[in-house]
A = this chain, B = another copy of it.
Amino acid sequence: MELWKDKIRKVVPYVPGEQPNMPDIVKLNTNECPYPPSPLVEKAIREFNTSDLRKYPSILCAELRSALTKSYPVGAENLFLGNGSDEVLALCFQTFFNSEKPILFPDVTYSFYDVWCELYNIPYKRIPLDKDFRIVPEDYYGNNGGIVITNPNAPTSIYMDIEYIEKILENNRDVIVIVDEAYIDFGGRSAVCLLGKYSNLVVVQTYSKSRALAGIRVGYAMACRELIEALEAVKNSFNSYTLNSLSQAAAAAAALDNEYFESCVNKIKNTRQRLINELDKLGFETLPSSANFIFTANKNIEAKELFAYLRSKGVIVRYFDKPRINDRLRITVGTDKEIDRLLTEIKNFIKERTQ
């Protein structure tokens, strides 16, 4: 028996959506943008001086930081940049949640939160969404070690108006409130406008979804200077150079192309509405989506069965075998062509079953 095995940390990791390597598949399972990033990204990568890769990246990320402050009403000192919003969120958990009291988040939400709590030994409590999968703000008032709200929530796709975010902040002055806005650009108003009023608010966003840059891993937190400095110190105790030079250049280019960004977001919103309408006709009940995905159920169809059928036809969506949501599918809003293929396969499924 090798004794070193006793001292190895054992954890149950988060399981991301599968990344199958099959030809001609329609991949609607990881909420990626179906459109390529801004043409300015291609230009930035083509023009990048690869000789400079011999040097460490800029720790300050000055160019990217400056580009981001053009999109949001924050200063450079209010931004913390990281290797994807997962890294940013993990560092937030590690930095801000050191209370004996449990942190609170919904029972149905991003499934990485409890994984980070386990990793960092943070006590936590899952607060049930109501029967319509909505967050009940009052459930989050006081007596906790911190709060994490995904808005719009995932996988529900439902947006909570920021007046309720503010209510939660008003009733939680003594702990950190994180608002994870990975999907905010697809239909909500960012809580970033509350930063001036609440020094305990942290807003986290990503370039993986609406900016079509999941491949470069860029996420960021926006908060008051003191919280950003605390994050920087923990990050610099872990890995000083988390954001590589090429990703910095690509994200900075994308940040400056709001016109392209908005046209992509609008296309996705239009396709989303069409998808919801078509699913309505097929008897699906879809939650009101403010995200680039929908969360849908059909009383007459086993979600798990439909998931497997679609997969066998090369259409990959996401199924969560978990309480409350195992009758639903999460479907990323792809291109119109991809959604047509999805709808065709769903119709085939229904036809085959009723024969």
CB closest residue in chain B, given A15: B236
CB contacts (< 8 Å) of A208 on chain B: these are 56
Query: Which of B30, B145, B236 interacts with A14 by CB under 8 Å?
Result: B236
Chain B residues, Cβ within 8 Å of A145: 7
The interface-forming segment of A241-249, A300-308, A342-350 is: A241-249
Q: Hey, which chain B residues are within 8 Å of A66, CB to CB?
A: none
In the complex, 29 of the A-B residue pairs with CB atoms within 8 angstroms, ordered by the A residue number, are A2-B200, A4-B199, A7-B99, A9-B98, A9-B230, A9-B234, A10-B233, A13-B236, A13-B240, A16-B59, A16-B236, A32-B54, A32-B56, A37-B53, A45-B48, A46-B46, A53-B216, A54-B213, A56-B215, A57-B217, A83-B83, A84-B242, A86-B238, A118-B237, A215-B245, A216-B244, A217-B244, A244-B244, A244-B247
- Within the oligomer, what is the number of copies of this chain? 2
CA distance A246 to B35 in the complex (A): 18
Q: Establish whether residues A37 and B16, one from each chain, have CB atoms under 8 Å apart when the complex forms.
A: no
At the interface, yes or no: A355 with Cβ under 8 Å from chain B?
no
- Chain B CB within 8 A of A155 CB: no
A50 touches B54 (CB 8 A): no
User: How many residues on the A side are at the interface (Cβ–Cβ under 8 A)?
Assistant: 88
Which A residues, 211 to 263, have Cβ-Cβ distances below 8 Å to chain B? 212-217, 226-227, 230, 232-247, 250
Report the minimum CB–CB distance from A6 to chain B (whole Å).
9
* Inter-chain contacts of A230 with B (CB < 8 A): 8-10
Question: Known contacts A45-B45, A244-B247; is A36 also within 8 Å of B51 by CB?
Answer: yes
Interface centre among A8, A32, A236 (most CB of B within 10 A): A8
The docked-state distance in angstroms from the alpha carbon of A52 to that of B90 is: 26
Residues of B within 8 A of A8 (CB): 95-96, 98, 176, 227, 230
A204 at the interface (CB under 8 A from B): no
Q: Contact between A54 and B83 (Cβ–Cβ < 8 Å)? A: no
List of B residues within 8 angstroms of A116 by Cβ: 237-238
Q: Does A152 contact B (CB under 8 A)?
A: no
